[in-house]
Amino acid sequence: MPTTDNLPLLSLTTALGIGLLIGLLYERRKEHDPAIAAGLRTHTLASLVGAISLWLGMPVFIVALVATGAFAALSYQRTSSIDSGITSEFALLCCCLLGGLAMRMPGAAGALAVLVAILIYAKPKLHRFSRELVSDREIADGLVLLAGALIVLPLLPDEPIGPYGALNLATVWKLVVLVMAIGALGHVALRLIGSRWGLLVSGFFAGYVSSTAATAGFGQRVKEQPALMPSAIGATMLANLASVSLFVPILIAIAPALLRDVGLELLAAGAVLVAGALFGIRRGDKVDAPPPTADARMFRIGQALGFAAIIAGVLFVSHIAAQWLGPNAALAAAFLTALAELHAAVATVGTLFRDGTIDARHAQWAVVGLLAASSAAKSVVAFVSGGPAFGVRVALGLSAMTLAAAAVAIFG
């Protein structure tokens, strides 16, 4: 039996705060919305009822929950003639549930209460967003993206198949989802921020996911809106800058000593990419390209599938070649891997250096080789996705990055 010696003060005070938080929002709206019956005191009491009843036992909590639901139903019946929804009734029931949850998991209950309060407070903005700002086309594209990520991807086998286990269907489909997601991110950024900065912001953060997929996504955007060429090139350079920056945590985790030897190379490569991004910003300022409309496609799944097919082919060829080269050709296999997955290749070089297979000088040139292989693959992706003009410019920028790293390896 509960006693005062084991009184759960944290849980009870959390339940009290939950009721006060949600009740305060409805108390402020009661004067303007006659459909709202429960205010500050009612929501606070409902949350405390949930907490106390669960403290007494599950049967008591079930009775309290049913009673709260019945009172909410009576409140809705009383105000059913008024043109309103049932959000306030569900909020009252939610207070009781969160009060009970606070007895078991006060942290989770408090976080969920804040989320509920945000949903209640943001009612006008959410309605405007869903009815006015988002188009049917964007909803359809969003559903395709979610279906690809949450339905198709879990169904695919996440294991090597084919000759020598060269392909992984789950990995290939992840690339399709990434290209679609980056296209959607670029679309949203362009609509919210504008043509000059939208692609640049989305490009930098997309690079942490997959700079290759980002290159393909921005190439698709250029094909749809050629006037976005300068901004798309700048965004591609920023995506690759983010990708190069990931060398640092990978090497810190695997071979910290190697980071001191290749740090200047990475700085030189990053400086060139920053210069390319700034060039895109400056040129993009002179281009008057309207942002996409709400009815524009966020991405084209056919192009995403084509990109994934190219990468799958590269993975297949590199894996087969690595098998033919034999177990002692790990460094050559890393170069082939860099054609499709740069960071896995960096981890391989770091491991070889840590194990003493290669020395610092060889590791420096290995990093240059990985950058060159990755740049070549992304240049091909840029040609295929964005056309010759986009491909040439991206190839020049990535080649300059590789040459800067090579210059440091020679003279550093």
Residues composing the chain? 412
Q: What is the 3-state secondary structure (H, E, C) of the chain?
A: CCCHHHCCHHHHHHHHHHHHHHHHHHHHHCCCCCCCCCCHHHHHHHHHHHHHHHHHCHHHHHHHHHHHHHHHHHHHHHCCCCCCCCHHHHHHHHHHHHHHHHHHCHHHHHHHHHHHHHHHHCHHHHHHHHHHHCCHHHHHHHHHHHHHHHHHHHHCCCCCECHHHCECHHHHHHHHHHHHHHHHHHHHHHHHHCHHHHHHHHHHHHHHHHHHHHHHHHHHHHHHCHHHHHHHHHHHHHHHHHHHHCHHHHHHHHCHHHHHHHHHHHHHHHHHHHHHHHHHHHHHCCCCCCCCCCCCCCCCHHHHHHHHHHHHHHHHHHHHHHHHHCCCCHHHHHHHHHCCCHHHHHHHHHHHHHCCCCCHHHHHHHHHHHHHHHHHHHHHHHHHHHCHHHHHHHHHHHHHHHHHHHHHHHHC
Which carries the bigger pLDDT value, residue 182 or residue 111?
111
Task: For 245-295, write each residue's pLDDT tens digit.
Answer: 878 877 787 778 888 888 898 999 999 999 888 876 666 544 444 444 555
| pLDDT category of residue 35 using cuts at 50, 70 and 90 | low
Q: How many other C-beta atoms can be found within 10 angstroms of the C-beta atom of residue 54? A: 24
- Statement: residue 224 has pLDDT above 50: yes
- Statement: residue 229 has pLDDT above 80: yes
- Look at 17-26, 92-101, 296-305 and tell me which has the smallest mean pLDDT: 296-305
**Alpha carbon of residue 107 to chain centroid:** 25
Burial letters 268-290, b for 16+ CB under 10 A, else e: bbbebbeebbebbbeebeeeebe
Residue type, 240: N
Query: What pLDDT shows up at residue 69?
Result: 81
Q: Which among 1, 9, 5, 7 is positioned nearest to 106, based on CA atoms?
A: 9
HSE-CB of 87 using CA atoms within 13 angstroms? 16
Task: For 377-396, write each residue's pLDDT tens digit.
Answer: 889 888 988 888 899 999 99
Using only C-alpha atoms, the chain has a radius of gyration, in whole angstroms, of 28
Mean pLDDT score of the chain: 77
Task: For 168-190, write each residue's pLDDT tens digit.
Answer: 788 778 777 876 776 777 667 66
* Separation CA 177–CA 147 (nearest Å): 10
Indicate yes or no: pTM above 0.75: no
User: Cα(first)–Cα(last) distance of the chain, in Å?
Assistant: 75
| Structure tokens, 77 | 């019946």
**Alpha carbon separation from 235 to 170, 182, 249 (Å, rounded):** 27, 12, 22
